[in-house]
Amino acid sequence: MKPSDPIASRLAAVAKESGDLKGEARLYETILPLLREVPLYACQVSLTPDQARAKMEKGLPLLHGLDLELDGQSACELMSQLAHAVENTSKKKQADPARHIRQAVKEERLDVSELLAHVAAGEDGIVEASANSMQLSPALLLTLARYALKPAMHEWRRQLESLAGISDWDSGYCFVCGAYAALGELQGNDQAKHLRCGRCGADWLFIRLRCIYCGNEDHSTLGYLSIEGQHEKMRVEVCDKCKGYLKVIAAFTPTAPDMLPVEDLATLYMDFIAQERGYARR
């Protein structure tokens, strides 16, 4: 990653601001370029405005139920490279599980195309069961598979994002792929609240005072956590009804989709603060 690359510059700043995140920043410096460089074929998807409206009015993300085709060879290559990156930049405790996954891909014991299809469909239980049967780390396998899917998910989002305004979408999960929002953003001069998908990069407007998980709008059970002096640029919105939380950052212009994982990493300390108080994010 070139030093002039905005992602590289942001990661360098994250590592400088928080020495505890140097290892993670180094890993991201290795992983994120792979998502750009490996030519992962993603099939063309198309929906008419009427089809998109019908789905969204039922609360279904646009990719739901579509036959999503990927290039199996490229998917295998990307999974292998991601596992190798973790193996080379992590301590032994994390490097060994990554090596085992890489070997399973190389020996074709792991069907990567099938794996990614399950992850795209949100069938995490099937992936975890498969990992356990092969004595692989379920958590690491899911993480690597989600990252391997990102190039395809970003392509499908680009194909479908023009349909964003076809119907009102008031859910906390993505209107394109169905993943819960990774971050909230207060955008523009009026600081309108938008939700951002960490999986595909989608951006959609959301009611300012509402829990993204349970839909709670009772201000007496909604609150926020922040660090003194940082409330205006970064805070965590919490819901005492379902104990969920959402990190919210001020961003006058929308964060580039490729930069969302970096901003999520940069605000990791806020996850710790929320989780220490008993809140969780899905």
Tokens 């074929």, located at residue: 41
Q: Give tens-digit pLDDT for 167-192.
A: 889 999 999 999 999 999 999 888 99
Domains of the chain: 38-162 (no CATH), 169-276 (3.90.1670.10)
DSSP 70-122: B-HHHHHHHHHHHHHHHHHHS-HHHHHHHHHHHHHHHTT-S-HHHHHHHHHTT
27-65 pLDDT tens trace: 999 999 888 877 677 888 889 999 999 999 999 999 998
pLDDT at 265 over 70: yes
Residues 245-263 pLDDT 10s: 999 999 889 999 999 999 9
3: three-class secondary structure by DSSP? coil
Structure tokens at 195: 């939700």
If residue 33 lies in a helix (H) or strand (E), which one and from where to where?
A: helix 22-37
pTM given for the model:
0.90
pLDDT tens sequence across 64-114: 988 888 888 888 899 999 999 999 988 888 899 999 999 999 999 999 989
**How many CB atoms neighbour CB 80 within 10 A?**
21
- Tell me which residue has tokens 């395809």: 152
Q: Is the pLDDT of residue 3 over 60?
A: no
Q: Give the residue-averaged pLDDT of 126-148.
A: 95
